[in-house]
Amino acid sequence: MSAGFRQSLAELTGHHWISVSIITIILFMLSSGLLLGSKSVRKSLKAYDVGLWPNALTAVTLILIIGILAEIIARFLME
């Protein structure tokens, strides 16, 4: 995170991690409301297909791990 962006987040709540946490909670509530409130969204996401969720969670976890590793490698190479 750039220093300017971190500072702007810190100005909101006093510390940038608190701001990030609040933003995450708000995004979670909005996405949950969208998922619970719209039958078409649930149908398109196949929310009722129990067999799909383990594969989807595995894929999301792997994508996030690769993203985190890419970030760490990029920071290491920039030093």
Q: Does residue 34 sit in the same domain as residue 4?
A: yes
pLDDT tens digit string along 1-37? 678 888 888 888 888 889 999 999 999 999 888 777 8
Q: Does residue 37 sit in the same domain as residue 3?
A: yes
Judged against a pLDDT cut of 80, whether residue 42 lies above it is answered with no
Count of CB atoms within 10 A of residue 9's CB?
19
Distance between CA atoms of residues 65 and 72, nearest Å: 11
Q: Does residue 31 sit in the same domain as residue 60?
A: no
Per the structure, the count of domains in the chain is 2
pLDDT tens digit string along 43-76? 877 777 778 888 888 999 999 999 999 999 998 8
Q: Does residue 32 sit in the same domain as residue 4?
A: yes
**Is the CB of residue 12 less than 8 Å from the CB of residue 19?**
yes
Strands (E), 18-77: none
pTM of the model: 0.54
Find the domain containing 57 and state its range. Answer: 49-79
Helices (H) and strands (E) in the chain, counts: 4, 0
Sign of CA dihedral 4, 19, 24, 73: positive
